[in-house]
Amino acid sequence: MGEFVRLEVEDGVGTIRIDRPKMNALDVQVQEEIRAAALEATDRDDVRAVVVYGGERVFAAGADIKEMADMSYPDMVKRSGALQSAFTAVARIPKPVVAAVTGYALGGGCELALCADIRIAADNATFGQPEILLGIIPGAGGTQRLTRLVGPSKAKDLIFTGRFVKADEALAIGLADKLVPADQVYAEAVAWARQFTKAAALAVRAAKESVDRGLEVDLETGLEIERQQFAALFATEDRTIGMRSFQENGPGKAEFVGR
């Protein structure tokens, strides 16, 4: 458990909780603690789905600019790979991941939210990639993940201008997937995550990897990734349980064991 980031586990749902007052600035220490929490969530069998949460007031307002302002070009050449890989550790969690977004998700905070599979946001949340206003560009995946999520034209508009995006626009362009009152964000995210606690874990993992890896390659290669994942699931106990249950009891009644 880190000083500012911890993994809290309850009933199969792991919450990666960021708690660095006042605005959850993502300095190097927080980045590395996020990596550690993501790797722990990946490794733990009692974690079947993950919520990324910054608390009731703010998701994360971005990088620690005071720390970054003192970095030279050689410093950032050395650090930038670790910055990206810390966030990628969240994106690579082989389980369903939901970002519970309250308040601001700006810069690195927005990039962290982009690492989740879906984003449930407060109806007064604010997203944005304002790095251009500092004379830089997003460096933790924003130019790539945002583009893949909302398309190149919308991503360029947000990145080129650095403007803030209110919740209703975020929903309209696909940056947010669901809006709820601010005091319901975490509960809604946990409810979404909890539906996977009894799911066929290896099938969910295969589905996530097929989608994510498929987005990185051409269609033919993506179909081959899917084919291999599909065939491999026939070696799992859950596949046997699921098909037997379907034949005997109909759909949706299987009790999976995660193997």
Domains and CATH numbers, the chain: 5-194 (3.90.226.10), 201-249 (1.10.12.10)
Contact between residue 12 and residue 46 where contact means Cβ atoms under 8 Å apart: yes
Please pick, among 60, 63, 121, 203, the residue that the annotation labels catalytic: 63
Please pick, among 62, 103, 108, 139, the residue that the annotation labels catalytic: 108
Residue among 77, 134, 137 at smallest CA distance from 111: 137
Please pick, among 12, 111, 141, 242, the residue that the annotation labels catalytic: 111
Distances (CA, A) of 57 to 12, 20, 186: 25, 12, 11
Is 108 catalytic? The answer is yes
Is 209 catalytic? The answer is no
Is 222 catalytic? The answer is no
Distances (CA, A) of 76 to 83, 89, 115: 9, 19, 22
For every one of its 259 residues, what pLDDT tens digit does the chain have, with 9 covering 90 and above?
Answer: 799 999 999 999 999 999 999 999 999 999 999 999 999 999 999 999 999 999 999 999 888 888 889 889 998 999 999 899 999 999 999 999 999 999 999 999 999 999 999 999 999 999 999 999 999 999 999 999 999 999 999 999 999 999 999 999 999 999 999 999 999 999 999 999 999 999 999 999 999 999 999 999 999 999 999 999 999 999 999 999 999 999 999 988 899 999 9
Is 54 catalytic? The answer is no
